[in-house]
Amino acid sequence: MDNDILSINVIDQNDIKEENLQHPKEETTDRTKILENMKTDKSWLSELKLSPVDHLLTIDRSICPQCSKKRKYFCYDCYIPFGDPEKNPKLKLPINVDIIHYPTELISKSTSIHCKVMARDDVNIIEYSPDHEYIYNYEETLLLYPSDDADFLTHVPNLDKVKKVIFIESQWHNTKKILANPSIQKIKCVKIDLQKTMFWRYQSMGDHCLATIEAIYYFFKEYHLASNNGLYNGEYDNLLYYYSLFYNLIQSEYKKKNVNFVKKKNYIQ
């Protein structure tokens, strides 16, 4: 495969060997150090046009008003954001999103939840079932997956006619099971340009295997560029709002002295 082609658009959080959950524990949060890391961070995440996260750095775990479970930044079961509701970003996506979630994957590890939390009305999370027939208008639907016959998103004709894009949230071997579904096989596959992940947890598939929310972000960035004569002004940067927050939380932990835990090689930017 050409070096400029993304080898796979999503990585399965359960393929990652580190034992910690996807979202960093609140006991490790140090507001001052996190803000300092945000100011000094030299990664491309620091260049995003993101809503301020300051209000999230002072909150404690609280009870979700819908399911009564204790959560912190958001409830990953009910897709409810916590913190100041006036400061939490809300997004309107240009096309609808279906996320096909393999049922054995822990939803608490899924970065695609971030998209549902911020663009609730435009995102649908579907639990995969091999017996289910997925009904789509195939002329208006795309599947982000780099199959052998996948076109680059920017080369898709009549992109303005696309109404829905599908992302897969699963481990590699389970992805093949989802793709084997006859109704899924009929959907046109597309791929995005090669990108380097900023995901903090170790995985063996290489630096170009993106976390799901990264793939979603790059899809909508490329979609916007293709639909607006190459212009982009951060319209969908907030898709990485929580992702960037967690990245900086973990960066702060990596920089702590006398902390003994497994670190990803060359992770500190």
Average pLDDT across the chain, whole number: 81
Tokens of 159: 């992109």
Write down the pLDDT at residue 161.
96
Write down the pLDDT at residue 8.
33
Lowest mean pLDDT among 2-6, 117-121, 130-134, 147-151: 2-6
**How far is Cα 122 from Cα 118, in angstroms, rounded to an integer?**
9
On the question of pLDDT at 204 being above 70, the answer is no
Cα 79 to chain centroid distance, Å, stands at: 14
On the question of pLDDT at 42 being above 60, the answer is yes
Percent of the chain with pLDDT over 70: 73
Name 29's Cβ contacts closer than 8 Å, sequence gap at least 6: 57, 249
Write down the pLDDT at residue 106.
87
On the question of pLDDT at 195 being above 80, the answer is no
On the question of pLDDT at 247 being above 90, the answer is no
Query: What are the CA-CA distances from residue 71 to residues 26, 79, 80, 120, 249 (Å)?
Result: 10, 11, 10, 18, 17
- Looking at per-residue pLDDT, the higher value among 188 and 267 belongs to 188
Nearest CA-CA partner of 39 in 236, 264, 254, 252:
252
Per-residue confidence at 132, pLDDT binned at 50, 70, 90?
confident
